[in-house]
Amino acid sequence: MSSISSSLSFLSPLRISRPCLSLQPARSCYAFNSHGNITLSIHAQSSNLQSCSGAIASSKDGTVSMINFEDVMEKDWSFLEYPDSSEEHKQKIDEIISAGEITEPSKVLIAIGSDEFVDRVVESSNCRQLLVVHDSLFMLACIKEKYDKVKCWQGEVIYVPEMWTPFDVVFLYFLPALPFELTQILEALKKRCLPGARVVISHPQGRQVVEEQRKQYPDVVVSNLPENMMLQNVAADHSFEVVKFVDQPRFYLAILKFQEES
């Protein structure tokens, strides 16, 4: 894989929200300017991140500074990319996206998405704003390399800055990777969503695959997909209504609609 040099929009310098436990090492260089933008240079070969070096000199007016992170550890997110090019799989992805009912004025959030899912949202939908939130700086850099207009933020979905809110559509594409209880997530989202906003919880391979992934990647997959009754109860407690629930052996889809509080 060739070198990646991309500009990622961050509210603050680097936030590593929880320990990264993968065996993939990365040494990266970051430069920040006065507008809070970050220039990220990552050198990668195959699936592993290799070291990068070089100094970034500060400008005379003090608008650029250098921060070196010698031991940034990347988790292995490769399991999110399914080696499935079948029409059935594509239809599942499209069904998940259509559940969001994206329109041109929509402000869309994708939390822990795969490259494939982000690609398909960009290709199939026209929206006012698309924000991708992920733990992986490497994945965000790859997204920015392809789509300059897509906004990227490294961190946890419950801490997304208000500057990009309120959202019309939220895709919790891989909920089991979020290290929070569902009640915490919905409590945060109800403060960041417009009335009528749709929150789509999904997994194109279903509950059984998530359970297998949790055994194989316990440092990344920290929970399972919510059962119907639990989802109904937690959603109601936070002004969301479950308008659709599908829990099949090879497909999971839950659509929540945010109701304006009385």
- Tell me if the bond preceding 166 is cis, omega within 30° of 0: yes
| Domain boundaries along the sequence of the chain | 4-74, 78-258
Tokens of 161: 């800055």
Q: Residues 130-182: pLDDT tens digits?
A: 999 998 898 899 999 999 999 999 999 999 999 999 999 999 999 999 999 99
| Stronger pLDDT, 176 or 260, i.e. the higher one | 176
- pLDDT for 262 equals 54
- pLDDT for 86 equals 84
- pLDDT for 73 equals 57
Q: Which residues contact 29 (CB under 8 A, 6 or more apart)?
A: 40, 41, 52, 53, 54, 56, 66, 68, 69
Q: Residue with structure tokens 């921060």?
A: 67
- pLDDT for 219 equals 86
In words, the CATH class of domain 78-258 is alpha beta
Q: Residues 6-53: pLDDT tens digits?
A: 334 443 333 333 333 333 333 333 333 333 344 343 333 333 333 333
Q: CA quadruple 24, 29, 33, 39: dihedral positive or negative?
A: negative
Q: Residues 78-118: pLDDT tens digits?
A: 666 666 678 899 999 999 999 999 999 999 999 998 889 99
pLDDT greater than 60 at residue 63: no
Q: Residues 193-211: pLDDT tens digits?
A: 999 999 999 999 999 999 9
pLDDT category, 54, cuts 50, 70, 90? very low
Distance in angstroms (rounded) separating the CA atoms of residues 209 and 246: 15
pLDDT category, 66, cuts 50, 70, 90? very low
pLDDT greater than 50 at residue 214: yes
SS3 171: strand
What pairs with residue 44 in β-bridges?
Answer: 49
pLDDT category, 260, cuts 50, 70, 90? confident
Distance in angstroms (rounded) separating the CA atoms of residues 151 and 165: 12
pTM of the predicted model as reported, rounded to 2 decimal places: 0.74
8 A C-beta contact, residue 49 and residue 42: yes
pLDDT category, 76, cuts 50, 70, 90? low
Distance in angstroms (rounded) separating the CA atoms of residues 100 and 95: 9
**Region 238-262 average pLDDT:** 92
- pLDDT for 189 equals 97
